[in-house]
A = this chain, B = another copy of it.
Amino acid sequence: MLQMLANPAAPPAFPRVSPTAPDLRSASLSGPLLPPRTVVFLEGLARSPQYRVVDGCIATAQTLSDGRRQIIDLVGPGRLIGLGFGDQNRYSAETLGFTRLELVPDSLTPGERDQALSEMLARSQSLVMLLGRKTAPERVASALIDLALQFGRPARDRKRGAETFHLYPTRGDLADWLGLTIETVSRCLTRLKKAGLIDIRHGDLVTVLDQRELAGVAAGDRALSN
């Protein structure tokens, strides 16, 4: 699942782009609804404008010449993409699910830009720690906690701490984010389910059943039986 896109350098296949591809730039404030797997901009091409995610989810990723893909970040509502580089994009951005973007003026206030850059840096450093020093179950648990924070809603369940969110990334996306393979991600999720820490319904609706235990797994305090 390393290459979902064609060669990034060359004009890419635009999977499932609606025939009448909406022009983002023409949207004044809140743009059109982009279908899943829409490429917003591509690594290596001339620098794209900046967007704020209004609703949905964006994956930013870099790809090696041989096709290995690494997702740099999953970006949820309220956060920005497309800032912080020079004359060309340092990563690609793609929707994972129906997503609404909002064009952000190139001239953010220095404060806003600083804030956004700092947050991106902090998240990138967290990912470095995760990739460099955490085991597969720890990575998956950490990812779920992050996704719950970004995409979680108050949860319809009354259960204390139970939080439900829409899982935008596929197993392949999670693998490319967490430096694992699809199979390893799947196995970890299965074990988290069997341990009663999470539940997944309809394939993409995740409920965190035991937040403390999940955090324990993420921190390496709790093992995770087979």
Give A contacts to B, CB under 8 Å. 62, 64-66, 68-70, 72, 84-86, 90-91, 110, 113-114, 117-118, 120-122, 124-125, 127-129, 131-134, 176-179, 219-220
Give Cα A200 to B219, complex, Å: 38
Of B68, B84, B129, which one neighbours A121 at CB under 8 angstroms?
B84
| Nearest residue, chain B, Cβ from A127 | B128
Of B62, B66, B118, which one neighbours A125 at CB under 8 angstroms?
B62
Which residues of the other chain, B, contact A113 by a CB distance below 8 angstroms? 114
Which residues of the other chain, B, contact A117 by a CB distance below 8 angstroms? 84, 114, 117-118, 121
Known: A114-B110, A124-B125. Contact between A219 and B62, CB under 8 A?
no
Cβ A118 vs Cβ B84 within 8 A: yes
Give Cα A220 to B133, complex, Å: 22
In the complex, what's the smallest C-beta–C-beta distance from A221 to chain B, in angstroms? Answer: 8
- Other 4 A-B pairs with CB < 8 A, given A70-B132, A110-B110, A120-B121: A70-B129, A70-B133, A72-B125, A84-B122
Nearest first, the 10 A-B pairs at minimum CB distance are A132-B179, A131-B131, A124-B124, A110-B110, A70-B132, A68-B133, A117-B117, A70-B129, A70-B133, A131-B132
Q: Which of A65, A84, A134 has the most CB of B within 10 A?
A: A84
Known: A114-B117, A117-B118. Contact between A66 and B220, CB under 8 A?
yes
